[in-house]
Amino acid sequence: MHSYVHLTFNNVIVRFSVYFASNFVLLALWATLLFRLVTTG
């Protein structure tokens, strides 16, 4: 998604927002993985 914004209209604010959102999703995925590893033993 970040690349799509960069290659089409390249608005820095939108690009940063998409980048921040993708980092948040990645953090949530890592947190979910860590939680499942800890709780399953």
- Number of domains into which the chain is organized: 1
Alpha carbons 28 and 37: distance in angstroms, whole number: 14
1-41 confidence digits (pLDDT tens): 878 988 998 899 999 999 999 999 999 999 999 999 999 97
Identify the pLDDT of residue 18.
Answer: 93
Half-sphere exposure of 15 (CA within 13 A, CB side): 11
Segments forming the whole domain that contains residue 18: 2-40
Question: Which H/E stretch holds residue 35?
Answer: helix 12-40
Identify the pLDDT of residue 3.
Answer: 86
Identify the pLDDT of residue 6.
Answer: 86
Amino acid residing at 6: H
Tokens for 35, please give them.
């939680």
Tokens for 25, please give them.
């999703």
